[in-house]
Amino acid sequence: MKKLALTLVLVVLAASLILAVDPAVALWAKWVKENYGGTTITIAAANHPSIEAMKKMTSDFEALTGIKVKWECMEEIHLHDKILLEFSSNTKRYDIIMLDVTWLGEFVSKNVVVPLDDYINSDKTPAFFDYEDIIPAYREGLGKFQGTIYGIPSAGESAFIAYNKEILDKYDISPSELNSYDSLLNVAQELASKKRLYGIAMRGRRGHHIVYSWLQFFYPFGARIFDENWNCLLDSPESIASLEYYVELMKTAPKGISSFSHEEATSAIMQGLVGLWFDATALAPWIEDSSRSIVAGKVGYLAPPAGPKGDYACVAGWNLALSEQSTKKDVAWQFIVYMLSRKMAPTYIANGGVVTRTSILDDPFYQNEFSYFPAVKESLDKAYNLIREGVDWRPRIPEWPQIGEIMGLEASLALSGKKTPEEACKDAKAEVEKLMKESGY
Amino acid sequence: MKDIKYNKYKPWIYPTSIILLIITIIPTIFLFAISLFDYKLGTPLKSAKFIGISNYITTFASSSFWHSILITAKYMLLSVGIEMILGFMLAFFLYNRKKWLRNLLIIFMVIPMSVAPSIAGLMWRLNFHPIYGIVNQLLYYFNLGPDWYSYDMALFSVIIIDIWQWTPFVTLISLAGLLSIDTSVLESARIDGADGFKMIKNIIIPIIKPVLLVALIMRSMDSLKMFDVPFSLTEGGPGDATELLSMYIYRKGFFHTGSVGAASAVAVIMLVIIIFMTKLFAINLQKQ
């Protein structure tokens, strides 16, 4: 028996050396292949750098474990509706779903996803996964809901500012000037006055996209969506001021801003159309991808400046979760174990994945390799400020998606000039209050 | 008519009837039923609360519902109006060409119609891009270049796509009508002294009126239900600029809100409007 075990280990070591696979991973993969090889799992995901990285790693995963992976990718706003639609029709279509932190409350209350605590603390999870290594802000803020783990963070993000070094140099603007929201507006306006150049690219499309951009200013200006008793504070002077600022800043944005999602906004800076960009840290890999971006390597990154009433930054992100209707949960879990483990994190990052682990974020090698890491760390520190106060960047209650839609519609009307920011905020508050009352708050 | 033995042929119709029943009748009955409940997407069907006509009252009281009716009416009148006029003019143009040229041009005209509306929307989304799109690249030389996605222009963008896609449809139907006119009627009119415009107004149009009416009915019904193009192009935005009735239903029922009950009520209202309009047209057609 001992001889057999020894031979097995030697074989695996040899195989792993030949295939350049970590021995721990190889051993695990062998066990998975024996038990689950030949099964197919389906993943519902959005188009995102983290997913592109996982897709590049999929063929290795399939070869190692014998599990076949089917990807179904779509725009992130439609992903939410598609998942719910398939769930309502009981099609059992998806095994793994990519879960936005803002949908967590709704999906848990509708039993779309299952708790993962038992999976993590069982022998189904090898040691090289290392759940505790995931950045605490992401562990607590992204994947947990009311104390239970429902998702493993696959792409945590904050938001920060990117500036085109060449453009700023050309007009003698120093990045250190971007230290307040007033000066940000001034710089954007100055850049927008130049020929064939626009100031800043952000999101403006009606719905959750515009809310994402609006919230970047919302909290630093001192506004809150709810108070401790769930009274809506959307019509506060701070809230109105933040929306006015956003509308003013978007006058320096490229034409077509009212339909921009993160894709158009990031395209704008990737094509050298704008001097500034303020969006998710998870999109930095796109800006630094020299095969698609003409400004790769020429961009500097900054954490958002402190606002008049607060120094905060966004924390948001995506998880991978197990669909409640899946009949292959154990198989699907192995996919999550592989893709989001500590061992595979360097490969994940190298393929354009998004950092979610302390071991990567604190590693000097990566801080040198990726010019945006220091800014990400600073943004995450600012994000802690809000978490420490017990406030969710976007309230993780089941009603959030609807609240986001309401705020998104009103903000879009304000951006188009059909309503003043004050009217938009007041109407948004009225609608949200109606919604909260119906939901029993 | 009594000669036709219906009973002999009835079994041949059963398969189609059953399929139609399953695909259209039963879901429609479900639609009526669910509109009387408060049902949210993702919750179990049993948990839906019966609330009677509350959804309908909320809908009629909502200003965004009336706004989307207004947008839909604007859209329908502009797109169908321009399509009918342009389509007929094109049909007349084709009618007067030599047969080989006419057939060649028809082939080109079929192309827009054969593109799926959602793909047309995506295609034009790139064309209308204010900076990279080909439309503004060409208009640049005339010092024009509007933001096709702004609140004021978005509806026109959708209308332009509709005209691009369905004018050929009107053209083909009108052409069929024109080609079916007995040339001896035209000859005798010409002998009586009728010239170009008088000929069109007093002879040709009255003869092919039923054909034109069919085109009008079909285009009107389709444009009332239009969903794919505004969805692909602007998702109903910016603000509520392109929120046609179908987009309004989608936003109520799916777009992060999931109030299927409320959306169904609006869908029923839309169904009633379409049935009403069809009846109007059908009566007009019978008069011809």
- Are B235 and A206 inside 8 Å of each other by CB? yes
Question: DSSP per residue over A22-70, as a string?
Answer: -HHHHHHHHHHHHHHTT-EEEEEEES-HHHHHHHHHHHHHHHHH--EEE
φ, ψ for residue A390, nearest 5 deg: 80, 15
**B195 or A56, higher pLDDT:** A56
Cβ–Cβ < 8 Å for B172, B109? yes
- When pLDDT is cut at 50, 70 and 90, the band that residue B129 belongs to is confident
Which residues, in sequence order, are bridge partners of residue A200? A276
Q: Reply yes or no on whether the pLDDT at B130 is more than 80.
A: yes
Asked if B238 lies within 8 A of A205 by C-beta distance, the reply is yes
Q: The pTM is what?
A: 0.81
Mean of the pLDDT values across residues B119-146? 87
Report pLDDT for B2.
59
Q: Encode pLDDT of B142-196 as tens digits.
A: 888 788 888 888 999 999 999 999 999 999 999 999 998 888 888 888 788 777 7
Residues of A in Cβ contact (< 8 Å) with B68: none
Q: How many CA atoms within 13 Å lie on the side-chain side of A403?
A: 25
pLDDT in tens, A377-416: 888 888 888 877 878 888 888 888 889 989 999 999 999 9
- Strands in A263-343 per DSSP E: 274-280, 299-302, 316-322
Check pLDDT > 70 for residue A18. Answer: no
Return the pLDDT at A140. Answer: 80
Q: Which residues pair with A40 in a beta bridge?
A: A68
Whose CA is closest to A335, among A24, A20, A40? A40
The answer, yes or no, to whether residue A16 has pLDDT greater than 60, is: no
How far is A390 from chain B, CA to nearest CA, in Å?
25
CB A101 within 8 A of CB A318: yes
Contact (CB<8Å) A416/B235: no
- Average pLDDT for chain A: 89
> pLDDT > 70: what percent of chain B?
97
Q: Can you tell me the distance from the alpha carbon of A128 to that of B256, in angstroms, rounded to the nearest whole number?
A: 37
pLDDT of amino acid B232: 87
> Coil, strand or helix: which one is A275?
strand
Q: Which residues of B touch A77 (CB under 8 A)?
A: 235, 255-256
* Residue A14 pLDDT level (bands cut at 50, 70, 90): low
Q: How far apart are CA A276 and CA A136, in angstroms?
A: 30
A9 has a pLDDT exceeding 70: no
A17 has a pLDDT exceeding 70: no
How far are the Cα atoms of A75, A178, A249, A276, B170 from residue A188, in angstroms, in the given order?
A: 29, 10, 7, 7, 49
Confidence of residue A5 (pLDDT cuts 50, 70, 90): low
- When pLDDT is averaged across residues A42-51 and rounded to a whole number, the result is 92
Q: How far apart (Å, rounded) are the C-alpha atoms in residues A92 and B140?
A: 51
Per the CB < 8 Å rule, is B149 touching A413? no
The pLDDT assigned to A55 comes to 95
Query: Are B149 and A256 an interchain contact pair (Cβ–Cβ within 8 Å)?
Result: yes
Nearest CA in chain B to A412: B239
Q: What is the pLDDT of residues A60-108, one digit of tens each?
A: 999 999 999 999 999 888 899 899 889 988 899 999 999 998 888 889 9
| Pairwise CB contact (< 8 Å): A255 & B131 | yes
Please answer whether residues A238 and A309 qualify as being in contact, where contact means their C-beta atoms are separated by less than 8 angstroms: yes
Nearest to B164 by CA among B261, B233, B92: B233
Reported as a pLDDT band with limits 50, 70 and 90, residue B45 is confident
Q: Would the CB atoms of B41 and A85 count as touching at under 8 Å?
A: yes
Instruction: Tell me the torsion sign for CA atoms B119, B124, B129, B133.
Output: positive
What's the mean pLDDT in B89-102?
91
Pairing of strands A152-157, A316-322: antiparallel
Q: Is ipTM strictly over 0.85? A: no
Q: For chain B, what are the domain ranges?
A: 62-287
A278 forms beta bridges with A161
Q: Which residues of B touch A412 (CB under 8 A)?
A: 237-239
Tokens of B272: 């009633």
Counting residues of chain A whose pLDDT is more than 70, the rounded percentage is 96
CB contact under 8 A, B238 and A258: yes
User: Strands A274-280 and B37-38, how do they pair?
Assistant: unpaired
A106 in contact with B, Cβ within 8 Å: yes
Q: How far is CA A54 from CA A221, A274, B88, in A?
A: 37, 30, 54
Q: How far apart are CA B235 and CA A409, in angstroms?
A: 12
Other CB atoms within a 10 A radius of the CB of residue B57 amount to 12
pLDDT band at A310 (very low <50, low <70, confident <90, very high): confident
CB neighbourhood size of B80 (10 A) = 26
Assigned token pair, A343: 């061992």
Mutate to test the interface with A, among B252, B255, B260 (most CBs of A within 10 A): B255
One of 3.30.70.120, 1.10.3720.10, 3.40.50.620, 2.40.10.10 is the CATH number of B62-287, namely 1.10.3720.10
Establish if A304 touches chain B: CB-CB under 8 angstroms. no
Instruction: For residue B132, give every residue at least 6 positions away whose Cβ sits within 8 Å of its Cβ, in sequence order, or none.
Output: B126
Instruction: Please tell me the distance in Å from A403's CA to the nearest CA on chain B.
Output: 9
d(CA B160, CA B163): 5
Q: Is B239 in contact with A418 (Cβ distance < 8 A)?
A: yes
Give the list of residues 6+ apart from residue B83 with CB closer than 8 angstroms, or none: B162, B163, B166, B167, B169, B170, B219
Residue B8, pLDDT score? 79
DSSP string, B82-100: HHHHHHHHHHHHHHTS-HH
- Beta strand extents in A122-187 (DSSP E only): 144-145, 148-149, 152-157, 159-164
pLDDT tens string B46-82: 888 888 888 899 899 988 899 999 999 999 999 999 9
A105/B contact by beta carbon, under 8 A: no
Structural domains present in chain A: 2-157+316-369 (3.40.190.10), 159-312+399-438 (3.40.190.10)
d(CA B27, CA B6): 29
- The mean predicted confidence, pLDDT, of chain B is 88
More confident residue, A39 or B130: A39
* Mean pLDDT along residues A221-244: 92
Q: What is the pLDDT of residues A116-143, one digit of tens each?
A: 999 988 888 888 899 989 887 788 878 8
Q: Which among A88, A206, A401 has the least Cβ separation from residue B237? A: A206
Query: Residues near A86 by Cβ (< 8 Å), separated by ≥ 6?
Result: A44, A93, A94
Position A368 confidence tier, pLDDT thresholds 50, 70, 90: confident
Task: State pLDDT tens for residues A155-206.
Answer: 988 899 999 999 999 998 898 888 899 999 999 999 999 988 999 999 999 8
- Asked if A204 lies within 8 A of B238 by C-beta distance, the reply is yes
| pLDDT band at residue A438 under the 50/70/90 scheme | confident
